[in-house]
Structure formats: C-alpha cells, structure tokens
Structure 1
Amino acid sequence: MRRYLDAFITKLYQPCDPSLLACFRICFGFLMMIDIPQERGMSRADATYDEIPDKYCTFPLIHGMKPFSQDVMIILYAILFLNAFFIMIGFLYRINIISFTVIYWYFFILDKSTWNNHSYLYGLIALLLSVSNAENFMSVDGFLDRTKLNTDVPQWNYALLRFQVFIVYFYAGLKKTEKDWLTGYSMNRLSRESVFDPFRFFMTNDQIDFWIVHIGGFLFDISVGFLLYFNKTRGIGLFLCGSFHGMNSRMFSIGMFPYVMFVSSFIFCDEKLFKNIIAKTVVLNHCVSTKACDKNSSCLYDESISSKRWKPNQIAAALFTVFYISSQSFLPYSHFITKGYNGWTQGLYGYSWDMMIHSFKNQHAKIMYKNLQSGEIGYLKEGVFLSGKRSRWKTQPEMAFQYAVCIREQLKKFELNDTAVYFDVWKSMNGRFQQRIFDHNVDLASYDWSPFKQPNFVMPLLSELSNRREKLREIKRSLRNVTSDYDVVFVADFSGMYLENFVHQDLGNTTIYIMSGEVIVESKDINVTLKSGGNLKITQNEFHRVHTVSENIASYYYIYVNTTAQFMKKRLNECEKYIKDCDMLEGQGTCSSFDQSNEANKEDIQHFNPEITELYAREQRYKQSLHNLTSWNYFKWFVFKKAALFRRSFLLAVYAMRNIVIGKPLSVDQLQMELDYLNEWMTPRRFQNSIVNTKEDPVTSNVGVKPEL
C-alpha cells in the first residue's frame, strides 16, 4: 500500500513548465472581466437587489439565506471584477483568487434560479486555480518576487484542470444517452439557425436536427475528451472544439462559456506550448523570459524521490486530489440521495452536466391563494414578488416550495395572515403533451419538504404517451401545410382532474378535439361530454373547464387562429403594397407619400390606422438593420453593447461607494438624474444607431408617422 501511495504522490509532484497554466490564468481572468457585468449580473444589480429588504422572493440553496443591502451587493460585484483583473495580471494572486472564489460562490449559492452548468464550472475552475501556482509565469508577483518567476509547478496543478475539462465533456455525453436525446426530441427546430446553412445543401432541417444536433452532439461530447488527451488526436479534438463552441456562441446567449471551454481545451497540450509560442514571437521574446524553469521546492526531482519522506503539504495535496476527483465523479449521479430536488428531471439544474437534455414549453401557470380564516380565494399574477424573469420554479419542486412560502409571507403585508398557496403549472417536456407538473390541490406553503424525501406533490411525467409525439408532429405539419395562421396545443390530464382555461377574444375559431379518454367541457352556457374523436367549438372571451372523467388519462388538443394577428397581417400587406405603389408613381405626381395635406390621401391614412403603419415601420427598420448588419457593423454593435454594460456597472459601483461612505442623496430629482444617466447608453435607439448609420428613417419619411421602438 505504501508503495502505491509513494508512486501516486511522486507522480502528482513531477515538475512541469508553468507557462501554459499562466496562459490559462490570463485568459480566465480576462473572460471573467467580460462575464461579470453581463452574465453574473453586475450591470443590473440595482434591479436584482432592491433597496427595500424582502421585497422580492429569492431562491438560495441554503433556505433563509438573505442578500446584503443593495449597495453592499454592488460593491461585492466591484470587488469580484477587480479580483478578475488582478488574477489576469497576476498581482497579489493568492489573495485575489481566494477572494474571487469566495465571493463568486456566495453569489452562486444565493440564487439557484440563475444556475447553469457553465456558472458552476467557473466556480470550480476558480477553486482549482486558488490552490495552484498559476502565478509562476508572466505575473506581477513574479516580477516583484524573483523566486516565483519562471519556476516549476507540480503536475497535479494541470491534472485537476484536465480532469475537470474532461468530465464536463464526458459526463455531458453520458447524460445524452437518455432516450429523448438519442431519438431526437430534446432540441427541436435548432436546425433553423444560420450556422447550419452549409449542411442544408444535402440535408433537410429534420435530418440536421437528428443527425447533426442530437447524434453529432452525443458523439462529440462522449469522445472529444479522449481526442484531447492523446497527442496524436489532439489536433482533431481542438478543431472540433473550436467548431462546436464557435457555433454555440452564435446560437445561444450563454456569455463567455464557449470561449472558456475553447481556451480550456488547450490545457491538454504540452506544458511548454505557450512558452514556445513566445519564443517565436519577436516582441514577446524580448519581454518574457523563455529560459528553462528554476526548481520549485514543492516539486519532486530525481534526487529527492528516494527520500520517501513526504511533507504535510504534499500529503494534503494528494488527499485534495483524491477528494476532488471522487466528489466530482459522484455528484452528477447523487440524485438518489437528494430526492427532494427531483421532479421530472433529476436534481437541480446546473451541476450535473446535463446540458440542454430537456427543453420545456410553458402553457400557463396559475397561482391561487386561499384565506384559511374567511375561505376567500384569490389569484396572483405569474411571477409576482420576483425580480426579473424567474421561471425555474415551475419545474423544480424545491424552488416551487420556496416560492410558495415566500408568497405566504408576502401576503401578510396585505393583512392576509393565514393563507394557503396553490400552483397549477402546465408544461411540455421534449415535445410531449402539455400536462400539469404539480398537484394543484396541495398547499405548497405548508408542505413538509425535505432534501432527502421525494416530493409527492410532483405529478408523474406521462411517459406512456411519449410514443405519440410523432403523431403530434404530423398534426402540426398538416396544419402548417394548410395555413400558417393556425396553431395547436396538445394537452393530457389525469383522471378526476380538470383544466381551467380562458380563450382570449383574439383567438377565433378555437376548437377542442379529443384524442383519447372521455372529458366533460363545462362553461357558462354548455356542459358537453366528449369521447375519443369528438370535437367542440369553444366560446371566446370566457373561461371553460375540461374535466377528465375517464378512468385513464385523457388527451386532447386545441386548434385556434389568432384572428387579430391575421387581420393585422392582412392590413400590413395592404399597407406595404400601397407604399410601394406610391414609391413607383411618385415621380408622376400621382402619389404624395402619405402627404396629409392631400385630400385624396386622407382617406388612405385613415384606412391604415397608426398601429398598422407603426408595425410596418418597425418591420422595415428591422429588415434594414439586418441588411446593414455586416461583420464590421456586428463587431461595432458588440463592442458598443459591452461598453454600455461596463459603463453602467462602473457607475453603479461609484454610486454604491458614495452611498456607503457619505450617504445616499435625499433629493428625488438628483436620484432620477442619476438613474437617467445610468441608463443613457442602454436605450434601444442607441443600439440601433450604432448599427444603422442613417440620419433619416426611410420608413418614417414615407409613412408620415414616427413610431417609437
């Protein structure tokens, strides 16, 4: 046993060149500087953390955990940003990387509703860098302390990072062995993205969705870690990583994740790669030393291996390596222990590497409360008491429980001291029927939730209906072939339950069709029993209920047409035709481009109401923006947007520091002026002007109406 332990520690402490690790440190710090104002939320921290305590519901991992005051949270963001900058340049590296790691994980634990696999990965990388010697090359610390400059680092510094990158890919591939992914139901309609245009020469969109997105994605994830590990296949792995993450950066708004993963793939290369590149670069070669590394007392060299007397720090590093590898190998499959977080999917989203395995479509969510003293029932707007868009509570049972408890506490402010809270949430997962996810008869605010007990208020996923998904696609295709104005919603419900639905007045010709089971459709004027194959037209602008009375599950679907949108589309086409005719005849004096002084055109102006002309103007401006969106304009827009986020983040930090040191201004006018100054670069018009360099709106000049964005 001792012999194996000696060999293990000896391998971990083999000396390695620090240059590649330093390159990774520089890139990570730089990318985090870009990520913090945007994805981490620094630029919108004033909206996320309100000045009024407990104004919004939050979803911390540790129940009862509360954020600090608004100004303190903004200052923490500013410190996090400065930490990232100092990590990049390697100044006071150990202090800054530990500070970055602690603050980052504090923000991460504080709000589960924003968890993603990539935000979890950033925290893990920060943790690994905090115990590494990444400052031993190209760092300010190295220039200030020559004993650190260009000195070896132990092999385990690289080994843990390589393991982490490998497991992200490999476990993502293992998660994709799920049937929904391998049969092509997880990521529908992704083939419409422009990055797949080269494949469209010889493949249909459905073939791209299945073979490229699903099968290709599975093969990439399961194999690319091995391709990167071996020298002979590393070039292929790097090419595939560059292509894959480049496509992701264009398709998804996932911040710096594609760039972090692409940079991370180079950690598998030879440790001297970065130093060799510097040696071949004339400018850098004169600034950075590329000579052989000095020895590091933490590493094991040939003359020190025979001693077999391990230092405490060497044993601690070996134990940490074993613990980290074991925990990260186990956590993605630990959901049989943490049953309280399991719903239709296993565990909380964000640490299992099950990236994009499940796609959800939300039909509606109804929040109902009941005054237990008076029996009065009331309804709340979806998303009430939440800051911004927080929708993950609709799929995660533990977050639904937290939200229900928070709503009950918030209602106490309105003298409703004893209430029950019920959720009726309808969702579709991976192209299945819309179905309720929570039992709407269970008071979630009073539920006895435990992290180790399966929540029994979660309704089971109707997997027995999964084989009907192809039939659902056929119905959609048949409708699409007839007209694009119709839409369809598929619903399945449990025996003894009912769906309460409201048909908006815009949805004309709404009809319900029964696929299986037996239901009773009940409204103000009707009470009709329908069986498989039956249908009924639903009255607009009123509620109706669909009771499932059969012993088994009932499935049905609605077909409807948005008559208002249909009418607007028709009038829009007429408006567009009229304006084009005016442009063609303008030179002959028969059209005055909507000149309202012309009596002949007044009737036309009334014919096309302002909503129509505004809609047409917006569409034309959008088309013009796309036409002018060259690569250079896209780059300018990207830089302008990032500059606006950085500007707002910086100003928030300045105002927060001012508020803490000398106090917040009492003048409402001054506060409003500061808010306007904060948002000056964030308006859509400023973004549009950064792309479309036109002094005159060609649509506005034709239509005679200047619509707002």
Structure 2
Amino acid sequence: MSICFLFRQTDNSALIVFRIFFGILITLEAWGAIFTGWIKRTLIEPQFTFNFIGLDFLQPLPGNGMYFYFFLMGCLGVLVTIGYKYRWSMAGFTTMWAAVYFMQKTSYNNHYYLLLLICVFMLIAPANRYASIDTRLNPKLKKANMPVWIKYFIILQLFIVYTYAAIAKLYPDWLDGTMPTLLMQSKANLPIIGQWLQAVWVPKVVAYYGIFFDLLVVPLLLFKPTRKFTFFAAVFFHLFNSLVFHIGIFPYLSLAFCLFFFPVKTIHKTFLKKKTFYKENQLEIPKNAKFIAVFFSVWMLIQVALPLRHWFINDDVLWTEEGHRLSWRMMLRSKSGTSTFIVKDKKTGKQEAIKKADYLSEKQQRRIATKPDMIWQFAQHLKKEYAKKGKAIEVYVHANVSVNGRPYTNFIDSKVDLAAEPWPYFGHAEWILPSALDKNKSD
C-alpha cells in the first residue's frame, strides 16, 4: 500500500489549538504536583523510590531538588503553550517527564503513561506553525496546513487505549458490579455526592457505561450523526471521573483530543477565525516520508502488542500484576495485603523481622504488599543495605493478599530467598504462588 495518503495536507487548526490546551495542561500537571503535595509524598519523603526494574540510576534529586525540577517542567509547559523554542521546550519536558515516570511506581498511573506517549507525539508534530512566538520571530515557519497522519496518529492511539480499556473490563468482577461497588464505597466520604454514589444502582450504571463508553467513543466520534451526542457523553464521563476519582489532567486531556474528530472547518471557525483556512488538499511528501511511515507503523504495532503480553505469562494478571502496566487496565481491581520481610544472616543463621517503616513511606508500605515486583525490589534493597554493613543475608517474605473483597490468601512463596532470585523480565516469577481468584468471594 502506498504511504502517500499519510502526507495529504489538511488544515492544522486542531493541532494548533491542541498544542495550546496541551501546554496549559502539562503546566498544571507539573506545578500542581508541587502544590498538592504529590512531590513531597512520592519523591521527597521516601528514602528511595521503586523505579522501573533495570533503571536503578533514576532516583529523585536530593533535598528539595524535585521541587525545582517540577517548577522547571512547568516553565517548559508555558513555553510549549506560547510556542517559544517549541522543539527544545517539548524535548525538555518529554525527557523530564519520562525520567519521573520511570523513576517511581508507587504512584503509578496509566494516565502518566498516556501523557508520556502524547509528549513524544507532540515532540515530532509541527504544532508551532501558527499562534506561536516561533512564527513571530521567524515568519517562514508559519503554515496553515499539516499532514493527515497527525490526525490519524491521535485517533488510532485513542482507539487502542479505549478499546483495551473496554476489553479489560469484560471479566466477572466488573460485569457483576463487584469492582464498581468497591470503587463507589471508597468514595463514600466525598462531600455532597459521596452518599449518592452508594445507591445500589450506581455501580451497575458505572460498570456498563464504562464498558460501552470505552468501546464506542472513538467510532461514534468519527460518525457525523452521533458525534455531538458522543461529545456531550464524553464531557459527562470525564467530568464525573475528575470529580469522583481525582485523576489530574487526564479527563481534560481526553476532551482536548476531541478536537481531532470534528470537521477542520468547525475547529477553525470556533477557535482561529483570523487564521487562513487551508483547503487545497495537496500532497506534500517530505524527504523523510519513509522514516515517518515506518515510525508510525512500528509505534502502533507496539501499542497493540504491549497490552496483550499478559496472555503469554502464567496465571492471572489481576493476581500476579505481570503485564499490568502499559496495558490500559484502569481501575480494574481493589487489592489489599499484608507483608512481613524476614532477614536471615547467612553466617550466623540469625533471623529478624524487618520494620518496614524504617525504610518505606506509608504509601510505599501499602503498595508493596500487593505488588510482586516491588516486593522483589525491596528484598534487593535490603540485600544491598546489609551488604554495606558487611553482612550477607537471605530475604524471605510472608505475604497475604485480598483481591476485590476475596479472603486474604498466601501470595508469595515464603521458602524462597528473594535476595537470590533474578528478575524474570519476560516471564513469570515462580515464587508468586498460584492464583486464588477462583475462590469464593467473602460476604
């Protein structure tokens, strides 16, 4: 198939307006992390962070350094908004956000991953060709058009995200309302709406509205007769999520994506009336056309493949967590657990239970009980800490986990020395005990 269709030109109003919204949102994300205390809880209070395995060099700056780090990120967001030194500003923010994303998993969020993907997209998109300081300083940069692959990229990326989010909800605990009920119960203390969310019919509505919205929102936005109705449904859906679940900029970023679904003429008239409207529909094939086409194809193949990887790993991803990240498995399970780490001196045979509060923040202590990779990382951390004291140790873990209200069940093989275990990057950790999800739920 010819790649020429990717470079057919269309009006770029949607991209220009999206850049402005996107710049505002990433600024709010960065500076909001300062004022909400997220940085303090996640990156300053902990002695160390649970980075993505293999990226141990990514650790927070010492002292209050992360406050300055996020302040600088916010400044870069402002520069993206106004389109000043756009490539450098976007590259700086993308690099800094990627570092934050990979340096900690305690506050892991699928939305942070999506933001990283969109940052990469915005880095390569010609989003500063209008309404920017760059075009004021260099009028030759000004353009009213963009290649249609920009629009296709956003639509396909969103289709992958929402489709996998819908498919992941097609499991018993979501369909029978168990998980939505637990979600609503966790919000009982919200002012005004908290008690309303406890109505017996709310979890069922949340369950099936969530499935059908995720499954249909992109196709219905593409279909003209249903576009406006779907847009208003999206406004309700995302504002509800923002109000109830407090998930940062994601709801508003999702609404900003709708710019790419409406007719280019509509976006132009609504937001950029003074801008010349491009309607020639010319074909402009750049010198790096093949590279762009290959990048586009490989990117989408990876996005399709990553959420499928848990099917090739033993046991249930809801239990093992293996293959959960980077897979759009959003708000699908409620897990709680307990864990005890036993350190055994190899030389003397003496054993002691570790006081986790001496090493971990409160949030880290809650997360570590249900996340096998974090359990393994903490065992490795203890091994290194004791090695500094000249001691060689073994680390054994007693852990119990409850998934979606089920009884607490043994989670980790307590006979395995986790300090001596390598991490199975592409397979199953055999020291995770077999799934207990087939057991009856507790009353």
Name the aligned partner's letter for residue 322 of structure 2. Answer: G
CA distance in 2, matches of 1:458, 1:184: 28
- Which residue in 2 is equivalent to 1:702? none
Select which of 318, 329, 352 maps to 1:378.
352
Are the aligned partners of 1:80 and 1:103 in contact in 2 as well (CA < 8 Å)? yes
Question: What amino acid does structure 2 have at the position aligned with 1:60?
Answer: F
Q: CA deviation at 1:47?
A: 6.8
- Alignment partner of 1:214 is 2:207: yes
**Partner residue of 2:319 out of 330, 333, 344:** 344
Aligned equivalents of 1:41, 1:461: Cα separation in 2: 40
Task: Give the structure-1-normalised TM-score.
Answer: 0.57
Q: Map 1:31-50 to 2 at 5 A.
A: 31-39=25-33, 45=39
Which has the greater radius of gyration? 1
Shift in alpha-carbon separation, 1:240–1:340, aligned structure 2, 3 A: same
Q: Is the 8 A contact 1:365 1:426 kept in 2?
A: yes
Instruction: Tell me the secondary structure at the aligned position of residue 272 of structure 1.
Output: helix
Q: CA deviation at 1:188?
A: 2.2
Q: Which residue of 1 aligns with 2:140?
A: 147
Partner of 2:340, secondary structure, is strand
| CA distance in structure 2 between the partners assigned to 1:383 and 1:340 by the alignment | 31
Q: Do residues 64 (structure 1) and 56 (structure 2) align?
A: yes
Tell me the amino acid that sits aligned with residue 12 of structure 2. Answer: P
Kindly indicate whether residue 198 of structure 2 is the aligned counterpart of residue 224 of structure 1.
Answer: no
Q: Which residue of 2 aligns with 1:407?
A: 382
Q: What's 1:103 paired with?
A: 96
What fraction of aligned residue pairs are identical, expressed as a percent?
25
Comparing 187-196 with 402-411, which one deviates more in the overlay?
187-196
Q: Offset at 1:120?
A: 0.1
Contact 2:51 2:59 in 1 (8 A): no
Out of 452, 477, 481, the residue aligned to residue 426 of structure 2 is: 452
Of residues 438-447 and 337-346 in structure 1, the stretch that sits farther from structure 2 once superposed is 337-346
Give, as a single letter, the amino acid of the residue that structure 2 aligns with 1:329.
V
CA contact (8 A) 1:115 1:349 kept: no
Quick one: which of 361, 364, 369 aligns to 2:343?
Answer: 369
What is the CA deviation profile of residues 520-551 of structure 1, one whole-angstrom value per residue up to 9, with x for unaligned ones?
Answer: xxxxxxxxxxxxxxxxxxxxxxxxxxxxxxxx
Q: 1:172 aligns with which of 157, 165, 171?
A: 165
**What is the TM-score normalised by the length of structure 2?**
0.89
Q: 1:171 to 1:403 in 2, by over 3 A?
A: same
Distance in 1, matches of 2:104 and 2:316, equals 15
Distance 2:221 2:349 in 1: 64
Q: Aligned runs of 1:95-494 on 2, under 5 Å?
A: 95-191=88-184, 205-209=199-203, 211-278=204-271, 289-293=274-278, 301=282, 311-336=286-311, 344-362=319-337, 364-387=338-361, 389-390=363-364, 391-413=366-388, 415=389, 417-465=391-439, 468-469=440-441, 472-473=442-443
CA distance in 2, matches of 1:460, 1:196: 41
Contact preservation (8 Å) 1:438, 1:459 = yes
| Aligned-partner SS, 2:251 | helix
Query: d(CA) in 2 for partners of 1:273 and 1:153?
Result: 16
CA deviations 1:551-595 (Å, max 9, x no partner) are xxxxxxxxxxxxxxxxxxxxxxxxxxxxxxxxxxxxxxxxxxxxx
Unaligned 5+ segments in structure 2 are: none
Which protein has the bigger strand share?
A: 1
RMSD after superposition:
3.1
| Shift of residue 233, structure 1, vs aligned partner | 1.0
Give SS of 2:310's match. Answer: coil
| Displacement after TM superposition at 1:153 (Å) | 0.6
Equivalent pair of 2:268/2:275 in contact (CA under 8 Å): yes
CA pair 361-422 structure 1, distance change in 2 beyond 3 A:
same
8 Å CA contact 1:358, 1:429 repeated in 2: yes
Task: Report if aligned partners of 1:191, 1:205 keep a CA contact under 8 Å in 2.
Answer: no
C-alpha deviation, 1:135, in angstroms: 0.9
Distance 1:276 1:333 in 2: 41
Kept in 1, the 8 Å contact 2:43–2:49? The answer is no
Letter in 2 for 1:58: F
SS at match of 2:106: helix
What is the CA distance between 1:388 and its match in structure 2?
Answer: 5.4
Distance 1:92 1:204 in 2: 50
Pick 1 or 2: higher relative contact order, CA cutoff 8 A, min separation 6: 2
Q: How does 1:633-672 map to 2 (within 5 A)?
A: none
Deviation at 1:337, TM superposition (A): 5.7
The count of residues paired between Structure 1 and Structure 2 equals: 439
> Structure 1: which 5+ residue stretches go unaligned?
280-284, 305-309, 474-709
